Chains A and B, each alone.
Chain A
Amino acid sequence: GAVVSQHPSWVICKSGTSVKIECRSLDFQATTMFWYRQFPKQSLMLMATSNEGSKATYEQGVEKDKFLINHASLTLSTLTVTSAHPEDSSFYICSARNTLNSASYYFGPGTRLTVT
C-alpha cells in the first residue's frame, strides 16, 4: 500500500525554539497534504490544508505565523512550529491525498512533540 513517512518520529525541544516536521509521500504524488494534531485520547483535529506550490489554508483558530507550512514538491510538506511553548506539545500527523486517486488518503506515523 501507499506509504507516508514523517520525520522525526519524536522530538523534545525547549520553550521558545522552533521545530520542523517533514511529511513525505514515498511512492505516490500528493498535490494536497493535510496536517492534524491529536491530543491524548482525542480525535484528529485538522490544522491546515497544504497545496503544492501555493499557500496553505489554515483552520479557524490555528495561527499561520506560528505553524508554518511549506509544500514545495509533490512528495514533501513541512510543518514548522515556531517559538514553541509547552501547550504546543502534541501528536502531529500528516495525511497525503493521492493525486491520481483523489479518494485515497494516507496517513503518516505521526510525530510526538514535547516542549519543555
Chain B
Amino acid sequence: EDQVTQSPEALRLQEGESSSLNCSYTVSGLRGLFWYRQDPGKGPEFLFTLYSAGEEKEKERLKATLTKKESFLHITAPKPEDSATYLCAVRSSSNSGYALNFGKGTSLLVTP
C-alpha cells in the first residue's frame, strides 16, 4: 500500500527565512509525485509534478526535488503570501484508477 508522509506538520517562518518541506513516500512503481498548495476553504492548486530521481522543477520562490525515497519543496526567501498548506501526493502503478494518494500536508505560516 502506498504511503506518503509529510514533515513537519506545521512550520512557522519569518519573511525571508528559507526552509524545506519534506515528503517521504513508499510506493510500488512511482508514476509521478505531485506538489499542491491549498489555501483555507479552497481546492488544491497545482505546483509541480516530478517523475524520476534527480529531477528538479522551479517556480518563483519554490523548487521541488525528487529522490527515490523522498521529495523536498524548498522555499527561498518566503513572503507572507506563501502561507498555505502544501500537499504532496503520489500516483503509482498499484493504483489502477490513477488516483492521487495525498500526505497530510505541511501548514506553512510566514510572518512579516
Q: How many residues belonging to A are interface residues under a CB distance threshold of 8 Å?
A: 27
A18-B4 Cα distance, complex, nearest whole Å: 34
Known: A103-B32, A105-B34. A44 touches B99 (CB 8 A): no
Closest to B10 in A: A41
User: B42 is contacted by which of A44, A45, A105, A109 (Cβ under 8 Å)?
Assistant: A109
Q: B112: CB under 8 A from chain A?
A: no
Q: Do B49 and A49 touch across chains, with their CB atoms under 8 A apart? A: no
- Kindly list chain A residues whose C-beta atoms are within 8 Å of the C-beta of B46: 1, 104-107
A residues apposed to B, CB below 8 Å: 1, 4, 6, 32, 34, 41-46, 49, 57, 91, 93, 95, 97, 102-110, 112
Please classify the interface of chain A as helix (H, G, I), strand (E, B), loop, or mixed, using the class held by over half of its residues.
strand
Closest to B31 in A: A103
A102-B49 Cα distance, complex, nearest whole Å: 12
Tell me, rounded to whole Å, the shortest Cβ–Cβ distance linking B61 to chain A.
Answer: 19
Q: Do A108 and B43 touch across chains, with their CB atoms under 8 A apart? A: yes
User: B99 is contacted by which of A1, A46, A110 (Cβ under 8 Å)?
Assistant: A46
Tell me, rounded to whole Å, the shortest Cβ–Cβ distance linking A56 to chain B.
Answer: 10
Q: Do A105 and B102 touch across chains, with their CB atoms under 8 A apart? A: no
Q: List 17 A-B contacts (CB under 8 A).
A: A6-B43, A34-B99, A34-B100, A41-B107, A43-B102, A43-B104, A44-B44, A46-B101, A57-B97, A91-B41, A93-B43, A103-B49, A104-B46, A105-B34, A106-B46, A107-B45, A108-B43
